[in-house]
């Protein structure tokens, strides 16, 4: 029976026991939390330290040599056929949002660990080293900066970013020192020596569920722009101002919200969202003089995102002009897209196919550590289906079967990994 299962795994199908073990480990790992009964694990906190210690222990059991880099990232190394070979990096993050789900970040780290554990159990060595990284700062909840641990690996972390403080006034560098990290050792954390970085992560969206697929291959991490739109009209009594004499800021904003939606619906590979809106003065019986709303636009293509934003702002200005209202647009956060390396996309696709699934390509709408690591090496991402696309919530859910499939795909990918020509 055990041999049959092993053969099955060699052929690419998932081993149910691996999925079950991974789910049990994710459950156990969720206990490292600031509060009982809910998962909250912020960067450089005692919970983070305890989780890192547990992760280190599991890595050592899986035959890895374990260290922690200057930023507190736990790194387990599984040597290749010879010691000291260049390493392929796998991983994700072990910090969480407040009242988080168990899978965001943690799945990617523990699935990579499960794959290495399986290699180690079988005594398999690959023609390259495999390192599993557990980053500590992806969610950006504690400090006003984020991705510092993966930026360090990517070689783009600056000393200035270390001097920001949390709400209690503790600077990142002080918190890091207390954690056992080394704010002075940032430069040494960069990994330009690595072959590439592959991150497995729950989709945090509904596409795989809608396509009835357990995994999908990420083509790019979307670039994003955030705008704040302010529409200024004229207040008036809801009873006394005839419809034709109104300059209603909220009615104009409503038309603009629909223009945002319509533009995104019409534009392939563009999503745009109005998440916040307010009308002023905000009384039931007063025609709004001002409406303020946000726009979040994302695309895996920077050109598409910029053209989409141009189309959106053009439509918004047309609405304002037609209604005789003022419109001001303020750009907040803006980030360019991160393309996954074409060679890694193809190799992940092949692994998915060999495991018996249609290889679906999709963009990542959310940000990930891979964005920051990409500054130093080719990156790839494998998404895992999650129920209802729900994430950042205790209801975040995946199946043991999908977890097993994810590890099987990762194992297959590793066994076939060809580091030559990843970028083209």
Count residues binding its own copies (CB under 8 A): 58
What does DSSP say about strands 87-93 and 196-202: parallel, antiparallel, or unpaired? parallel
Residue 36, C-beta contacts closer than 8 angstroms, at least 6 positions apart: none
In the complex with its own copies, the residue whose CB is nearer, 302 or 353, is 302
In the complex with its own copies, the residue whose CB is nearer, 13 or 274, is 274
Contacts (CB under 8 A) with its own copies, residues 82-111: none
Q: With beta carbons less than 8 A apart as the criterion, state whether 229 and 256 touch.
A: yes
Q: Does the footprint of its own copies cover residue 238 (CB under 8 A)?
A: yes
Q: Does the footprint of its own copies cover residue 307 (CB under 8 A)?
A: no
Residues 144, 188, 282, 314: which binds its own copies (CB under 8 A)?
Answer: 282
Tell me the closest approach of the beta carbon of residue 376 to its own copies, in angstroms.
Answer: 24
Here the tokens at position 179 are 């954690």
Residue 278, C-beta contacts closer than 8 angstroms, at least 6 positions apart: 291, 292, 293
For 391, the 3-state DSSP assignment is: coil
Instruction: Please report, for residues 111, 142, 306, 391, 394, the alpha-carbon distance to residue 319 in angstroms, rounded to integers and kept in the order given.
Output: 50, 40, 20, 35, 41
In the complex with its own copies, the residue whose CB is nearer, 161 or 249, is 249
In the complex with its own copies, the residue whose CB is nearer, 326 or 353, is 326
**Cα–Cα dist 51/100, whole Å:** 15
Residues 251, 341, 351, 381: which binds its own copies (CB under 8 A)?
Answer: 251
Q: Does the footprint of its own copies cover residue 395 (CB under 8 A)?
A: no
Q: Of the listed pieces 129-137, 143-151, 386-394, 405-413, which binds its own copies according to CB under 8 A?
A: 386-394
Q: What are phi and psi of 220, to 5 degrees?
A: -165, 155
Q: Does the footprint of its own copies cover residue 318 (CB under 8 A)?
A: no
**Cα–Cα dist 313/334, whole Å:** 16
Q: Does the footprint of its own copies cover residue 28 (CB under 8 A)?
A: no
Residues 146, 148, 222, 313: which binds its own copies (CB under 8 A)?
Answer: 222
Q: Does the footprint of its own copies cover residue 336 (CB under 8 A)?
A: no
Q: Which helix (H) or strand (E) holds 363?
A: strand 361-364
Contacts (CB under 8 A) with its own copies, residues 285-304: 285-288, 294, 296, 298
Q: With beta carbons less than 8 A apart as the criterion, state whether 358 and 213 touch.
A: yes
Contacts (CB under 8 A) with its own copies, residues 182-211: 203-207, 210
Tell me the closest approach of the beta carbon of residue 174 to its own copies, in angstroms.
Answer: 29
Tell me the closest approach of the beta carbon of residue 298 to its own copies, in angstroms.
Answer: 5
Tell me the closest approach of the beta carbon of residue 250 to its own copies, in angstroms.
Answer: 6
Q: Does the footprint of its own copies cover residue 319 (CB under 8 A)?
A: no
Here the tokens at position 63 are 């035959």
Q: Does the footprint of its own copies cover residue 423 (CB under 8 A)?
A: no
Query: Strands (DSSP E) along 32-119, which ranges?
Result: 65-68, 74-78, 87-93
Contacts (CB under 8 A) with its own copies, residues 348-367: 364-367
What does DSSP say about strands 326-335 and 223-232: parallel, antiparallel, or unpaired? antiparallel
- Residue 165 DSSP label: B
Residue 356, Ramachandran bin (φ over 0: left; ψ between -120 and 50: alpha; else beta):
left
- Using CB under 8 A, list all residues that contact its own copies: 203-207, 210, 222, 224, 226, 236-245, 248, 250-251, 253-255, 257-258, 261, 264-265, 270-279, 282-288, 294, 296, 298, 332, 364-367, 389, 391-392
């Amino acid at each position: 029976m055990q041999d049959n299962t092993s053969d099955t795994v060699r052929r690419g199908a998932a081993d149910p026991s691996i999925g079950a073990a991974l789910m049990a480990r994710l459950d156990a790992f969720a206990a490292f939390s600031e509060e009982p009964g809910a998962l909250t694990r912020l960067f450089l906190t005692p919970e983070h330290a305890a989780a890192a210690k547990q992760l280190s222990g599991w890595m050592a059991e899986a035959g890895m040599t374990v260290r922690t880099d200057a930023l507190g990232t736990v790194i387990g190394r599984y040597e290749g056929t010879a010691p000291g070979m260049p390493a392929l990096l796998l991983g994700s993050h072990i910090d969480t949002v407040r009242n988080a789900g168990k899978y965001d970040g943690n799945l990617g780290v523990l699935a990579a660990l499960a794959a290495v554990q399986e290699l180690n159990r079988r005594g398999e060595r690959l023609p390259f080293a495999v390192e599993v990284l557990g980053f500590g700062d992806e969610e950006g909840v504690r400090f006003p900066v984020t991705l510092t641990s993966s930026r360090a690996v990517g070689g783009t972390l600056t000393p200035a970013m270390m001097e920001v403080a949390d709400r209690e006034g503790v600077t990142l560098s002080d918190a890091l020192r207390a954690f056992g990290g080394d704010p002075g050792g940032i430069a040494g954390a960069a990994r330009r020596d690595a072959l590439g970085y592959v991150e497995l992560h729950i989709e945090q969206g509904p596409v795989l569920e809608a396509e009835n697929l357990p995994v999908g291959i990420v083509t790019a991490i979307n670039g994003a722009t955030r705008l704040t739109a302010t529409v200024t009209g004229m207040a008036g009594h809801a009873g006394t101002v005839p419809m034709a004499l109104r300059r209603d800021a909220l009615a104009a904003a409503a038309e603009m919200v629909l223009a945002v939606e319509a533009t995104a619906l019409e534009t392939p590979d563009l999503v745009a969202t109005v998440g916040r809106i307010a009308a002023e003065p905000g009384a039931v019986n007063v025609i709004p003089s001002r409406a303020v709303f946000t726009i979040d636009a994302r695309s895996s293509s920077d050109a598409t995102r910029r053209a989409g934003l141009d189309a959106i702002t053009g439509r918004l200005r047309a609405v304002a002009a037609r209604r005789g209202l003022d419109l001001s647009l303020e750009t907040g956060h803006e980030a360019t897209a991160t393309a996954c390396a074409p060679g890694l996309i193809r190799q992940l696709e092949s692994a998915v196919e060999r495991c018996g699934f249609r290889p679906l390509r999709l963009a990542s709408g959310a940000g990930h550590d891979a964005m920051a690591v990409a500054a130093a090496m080719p990156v790839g991402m494998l998404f895992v289906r999650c129920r209802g696309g729900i994430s950042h919530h205790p209801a975040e859910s995946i199946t043991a079967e999908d977890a097993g499939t994810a590890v099987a795909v990762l194992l297959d990918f590793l066994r076939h990994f060809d580091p030559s020509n990843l970028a083209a």
